[in-house]
């Protein structure tokens, strides 16, 4: 049973038993709400209403491969976004980081989180290792509820898909009463984004919703980042 004292910030590192990891078996792509006990962990954390900052990571190990040290991700089970639903009871939450854990987020997860955490300033979900590919359902338009409900959001890191269906009615035309926010930085690394229409779609959305945002460079696809940045400059009239 998890138990924590009264606190405002907590960082948890999940250490998985290496003897139970079969690296010859492909990662499990079926979202599991109870993977790694994260649903139970979320329930325990939620009991601490004073929490403003929550960070959850999986510990990586290193293996020697061809005379180099290669990081090996232990978390090979796809986690359903619902595993973190209990954290929505933390109404004072300002910072949530979920790193090196493959989380399958859906549009309804983003909407639910945005409504639950009106004071949110920092939101990070990394897709874990780029060598372990999991599906991405979130489109750039699906991030709009964060602009609507989280006016203080300064940093956002969530992988997005360049194409796909979105639950948010946003066809590129500026909607009536469009919410614009001063997001400082966005990180879309490990996103499924291609050159061309994907970049145009992202640049158009950001120019309307987060017009002053900066980018964290994505080391695995810098060309796409620069294409989005160039398009943003054009849309901003520079």
Say whether pTM exceeds 0.85.
no
DSSP collapsed to 3 states, 104-162: ECCHHHHHHHHHHCCCCCEEEECCCCCCCCCCCCCEHHHHHHHHHHCCCCCEEECCCEC
| Range in 143-147, 175-179, 180-184, 186-190 with the lowest mean pLDDT | 175-179
The domain defined by 9-14+25-235 carries CATH number 3.80.10: yes
Residue that is written with structure tokens 């009106």 in the block:
118
Averaged pLDDT, 98-117: 90
Q: Angle, to 10 degrees, between the axis of helix 222-235 and the axis of helix 197-209? A: 50
Pairing verdict, β 61-65 and 68-72: antiparallel
Highest mean pLDDT among 46-55, 120-129, 154-163: 154-163
Residue 134 has pLDDT above 70, yes or no: no
The SS3 assignment for 199 reads: helix
Q: Which among 123, 195, 184 is positioned nearest to 159, based on CA atoms?
A: 123
Q: Which residues of 48-81 are buried (b: 16+ CB within 10 A; e: fewer)?
A: beebbbbbbbbeeeeeeeeeeeeebbbbbbbbbb
Q: For residue range 27-79, what is the model confidence (pLDDT) as tens digits?
A: 566 777 777 678 888 888 877 778 899 998 876 554 555 555 444 444 567 78
In this prediction, residue 70 carries a pLDDT of 46
């Amino acid at each position: 049973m998890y138990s924590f004292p009264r606190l405002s910030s907590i960082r948890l590192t999940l250490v998985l038993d290496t003897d139970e990891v079969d690296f010859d078996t492909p990662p499990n792509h079926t979202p599991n709400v109870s993977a790694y006990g994260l649903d139970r962990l979320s329930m325990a954390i939620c009991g601490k209403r004073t929490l403003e900052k929550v960070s959850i990571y999986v510990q990586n190990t290193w293996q020697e491969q061809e005379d180099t040290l290669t990081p090996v991700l232990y978390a090979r089970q796809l986690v359903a976004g619902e595993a973190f639903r209990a954290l929505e009871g933390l109404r004072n939450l300002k910072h949530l980081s979920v790193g090196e854990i493959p989380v399958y987020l859906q549009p309804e997860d983003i909407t639910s989180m945005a409504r639950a955490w009106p004071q949110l300033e920092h939101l990070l979900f990394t897709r874990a290792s780029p060598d372990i590919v999991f599906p991405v359902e979130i489109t750039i338009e699906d991030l709009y509820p964060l602009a609507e409900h989280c006016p203080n959001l300064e940093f956002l890191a969530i992988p997005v898909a360049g194409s796909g269906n979105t639950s948010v009615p946003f066809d590129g035309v500026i909607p009536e009463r469009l919410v614009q926010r001063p997001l400082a930085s966005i990180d879309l690394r490990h996103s499924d984004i291609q050159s061309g229409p994907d970049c145009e779609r992202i640049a158009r959305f950001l120019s309307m919703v987060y017009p002053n945002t900066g980018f964290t460079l994505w080391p695995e696809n810098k060309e796409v980042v620069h294409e989005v940045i160039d398009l943003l400059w054009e849309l901003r009239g520079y």
